Structures are given as C-alpha cells and as structure tokens.
Amino acid sequence: GRACKEYMDGTEQLKLSPDKIPSLKDLSHVFNKITGWKVARVPGLIQSQNFFELLRRSVFPSTDYIRGKEELDYTPAPDLFHDIFGHMPLLTNKSFASFYQKFGEAALNAKGNNSIKLETFHWFTVEFGLINNPEGRRIYGAGVLSSLKEVQHSLSDQVEVKPFDPEKIVNQEYDVWHLQPILFAIDSFEQLEKGFDDWCKKEGLLS
C-alpha cells in the first residue's frame, strides 16, 4: 500500500519473490523484451561517467552482493536489495525507462553547475520520488523503497510534498544523512519524461 502501482507491476513482471535472490541474467532477459534494457553486473560503486554511459546505452549496472543483518537499516554501498528491489521494477515501465536513458545522455553532456543540478534531479526523482496514483500518493524512488525508515517517513505528515517542477527540483537543497523533510510528487511517468526532456533541451543537454 506504499509503493506505486507501476513498481508493483514491475515486481510481477520480473517475478521477484521473497524466497530467492534473482539471477541478473534472467532479469536482463525480461528487460530486453519489455523495454530494450539490459543488466550489467558490477562489483559495487562505479565511476559516475561509466554509470552515465551505461544508462545512455540502456544498461543498468547492478551488484549481486546483499547487505548483512547488521546493515538492514542502512548500507553505505549499494547492494542488490537497493539495485534490484529498489531500482529494477520501474525499468519495466516504458516512460521511466526512456527518461532514465535520457538522463544518462544528459549527464554525459553536462558540465559545471548543470552536473550538480542533474545530481539533485536524480536524488528527488529516481531515488526519492513520489507519485500521485489514483489510489493516493505512493512511492517510486529506490532510495525510499530500499529503506524501512524512509518508507515509513516519506508518506507521513512530517514531509512537505511539492508538485513536480524540474526548475524547482534542481535548485532544492538536500542532506543525504537525514530523513528527507521535502519531497516532490509527479502525476505520471509520462510527466517525468516530458518535464525532464523539456528542461534538458532548454539547458542544451539534449538535442
């Protein structure tokens, strides 16, 4: 009742289940059929330019390491719970997958202040985004969905939720070490894709 419908649909298409760790190869086959994406195994954090280049080519880098019990609340490096259960379900959504490919392309073209703005945009959408589903406000950001405390906090009355506006998002300050007091909600992934596309073209990041 907290994750968005598009995320839940993705978990079904990927056949994610609580009793086993999914194979990256199997997940890659599913993506390739639905949205043309693939999965590449990486050992952990990779350089940002390599990350963006993979996204531009519609390839999602993922670990197959899983955090230990002592790291359930937070792990400093991405693990498969964050990569697979947090990020991958939405890559079955065509509008989100298209947006993320464009994000990689724009990030490779960005210089100076625009690089910082894109990092901020990524934070408030891919990692900490909310969406207004017909059933009510739901979560789609992987950073929220892979954090028990953020899942409980993000839909509470302790958070100020602002409407989607790329210009306001890229100028919003945030602190990675605390529960987020301000989040942004999209109305659809089509809105996310078009809004990002329009902003990038205005900044000269996409042709």
> Which of 128, 138, 131 lies closest to 87, judged by CA?
128
Marked catalytic residue, from 146, 147, 150, 193: 146
pLDDT digits (tens, 9 = 90+) for 99-127: 999 999 999 999 999 999 999 999 999 99
From 58, 105, 122, 127, the catalytic residue: 127
**In the predicted model, is pLDDT for residue 78 greater than 80?**
no
**Whether 87 is catalytic:** yes
The total number of residues shown for the chain amounts to: 207
What is the distance between the alpha carbons of residues 55 and 207, in angstroms, rounded to a whole number?
A: 17
pTM of the model: 0.93
pLDDT digits (tens, 9 = 90+) for 168-207: 999 999 998 899 999 999 999 999 999 999 999 999 999 8
Asked if residue 120 lies in contact with residue 169, where contact means CB atoms within 8 angstroms, the answer is: yes
Q: Is 127 part of the annotated catalytic residue set?
A: yes
Q: Is 160 a catalytic residue?
A: no
Spatial distance between the Cα atoms of 55 and 73, rounded to a whole number of angstroms: 28
Q: Which entry of 62, 87, 154, 193 is annotated as an active-site residue?
A: 87
**Beta strands at 38-41 and 59-62: parallel, antiparallel or unpaired:** parallel
Whether 191 contacts 171, CB under 8 Å: no
Check residue 71 and give its pLDDT. 75
